[in-house]
Structure 1
Amino acid sequence: MAYKLDLLLVVKVERSNLHYPQRQVKKLYKLCWMRGVSCKIDKIQRSNDDMNLKLQTVESTLKVVLEQISETSNRCQTLEEENFHLKDQMKAMDDKLDYLENMSRRNNLIFHGVPRGNETQSLTDCELIVKDVLRNDLQLLDDVNIQRAHRIMKGKAIIVKLADDKDKQAILRASKALKDTGMFITEDFSPLVRQKRKKFLPRMFQARESGFKVFLRFDKLYTVTSQDFHVQ
């Protein structure tokens, strides 16, 4: 504002009819120029101060954001670790449940390819059919203790729960007699174990065709050599 007033004063002096010494007029010009420069410097300084204030605000905001990012990263790392532990716990729980399920099936056998008599076979009918197979086809005694026998859905398979593991092993050994009858007997496993065993079947058949002695036991494939067993 002072700079503008000085400029007006110089203009009035130049336009007036009064004669001012040249020296004073130069001083007045110089003073006006210096005030103009001073005003510009003040303006630049204010602009610089405003810029510094904005930079400080940005730095403060950036610091807060970085702290939040660091905190979020730490939380994500903690969540990842917790998720990793939860996966381990879930896997351990699944393995335990699978183990318990297989333990509950350990004395079960599945008789496949057993012809159906009628559509409304009772548990007693299924038990009689199984005993008939044991007696006539496997030549086993009647003292096999069957706790329960029933059809699996509407198929030709009957699942049998035995009271004794000795009976189970005896039936499995005698089941070779069912060859070429359309019937066969397998152990009862959980879905997870059945899936694992299914993956081994092509390798087992291929190995047998190559002359190797291999067999499945539970969810492992064993290869018999002259010295030892090899587990896969």
Structure 2
Amino acid sequence: MEEIIIELRKIRKDLDEQRNTIEKSVDKITEQVTINVNNILEEKFKLLNENYENLKEKNENQEKRLYFLEKQARETNIVFFGIKETETSYAHLESNIINFIKEHFSQELDRRDIQAVKRIGKKGEKPRPIIVTFSTLGTKIILFKQRNTLKDTGFYIKEDFPQDILKKRKILQEQAKIEKEKGNLVQIKYDKLIIQENNRKHTSNKRVLSTSPPNYDTYTTESNKQASKKNKTRTPIQRTSSLSEGISKPGMLNYLINVDPKNIPGPSGNKNGNI
């Protein structure tokens, strides 16, 4: 009976050892699998990240390209506002624009100078704006420089900007208003705000600061304090004028007038005083 018990104990011990070995093996396998999975996931994530960065860069390049292409496409455009919708065809609208430019800008254009014209927006009570694409940038520049001729006429012209640029310019206009209140010179160029500080303002401020005279009383007091520290026993001599000074004690002029010429010593070696 005891032998059976001993054998059973041995078997149990062997089973425990095997179980521990299996558990350790399972732990090692699990750890290795986890490491392998993590490595695989890390490599895949790295690959995905690289692909994402490449796509992001390509997308940014495409956006920049579209940005410049759209800017270039609208570069020769002018938007006209306030022109009544009396046209019945494209040719009629084109003729209206040519006549309008001749009347208000004193520029003789023909159909070759205009590449395209079209109204934008939905019909309503007010006349819709007209986008005019000119054949050359020079024609657009000449007309746009004369936009002030439309002042107080009810008509006006603007640059043709994309919607996202219009939103940016609207925000920039609010910032420009704040800068103008500060006295700075501002200018909006496409989608950028250029701020130039007003030099006159800074100069006037400097002049205002420099016009206030220094405090002479304080300066005199501090000078007297420093003099009193250096010469504690010396009393300052009060001087009224050069005349009183000459009366109170003989000056160099009195000495030269009253001196006897015979007593003036001559150069060394000449006892008679001859020069």
TM-score, normalisation: structure 2: 0.63
Count of residue pairs brought into register by the alignment? 193
Give the counterpart of 1:178 among 121, 127, 150.
Answer: 150
Provide the identity percentage: 22
Are 1:98 and 1:192, in contact at CA under 8 Å, matched by a contact in 2? no
What is residue 84 of structure 1 aligned with on the other side? 53
Residue 79 of structure 1: how far off its partner (Å): 0.8
Name stretches of at least 5 consecutive residues in structure 1 with no aligned partner.
Answer: 1-5, 7-31, 228-232
The Cα of 1:55 is off from its aligned counterpart by: 2.7
Report the counterpart of residue 129 of structure 1 in structure 2.
96
Task: Provide the aligned C-alpha RMSD in A.
Answer: 2.3
Any stretches of 5+ residues in structure 2 without a counterpart?
A: 200-275
Check conservation: 1:114, 1:183, Cα contact below 8 A. yes
The alpha-carbon deviation at position 78 of structure 1 amounts to 1.9
* Residue type of the alignment partner of 1:44: K
Distance 1:171 1:205, change over 3 A: farther
Query: 2:24 aligned to 55, 64, 78, which one?
Result: 55
Asked if the contact 2:98/2:109 (under 8 Å) is kept, the reply is no
Q: 1:192 aligns with which of 139, 160, 164?
A: 164
Aligned to 1:141: 107
Letter paired with 1:192: D
- 1:161 match: 133
- Separation (CA, whole Å) in 2 of partners of 1:37 and 1:126: 114
Tell me the CA shift for residue 205 of structure 1. 2.8
Which of 87, 111, 115 is the matching residue for 2:80?
Answer: 111
Aligned runs of 1:65-76 on 2, under 5 Å? 65-76=34-45
Greater relative contact order (Cα 8 A, min sep 6): structure 1 or 2? 1
| Structure 1 SS opposite 2:195 | strand
Tell me the TM-score normalised to structure 1 length.
0.73
Indicate conservation of the 8 Å contact 2:184/2:196, yes or no.
yes
CA deviation after TM superposition for structure 1 residue 56, in Å: 0.6
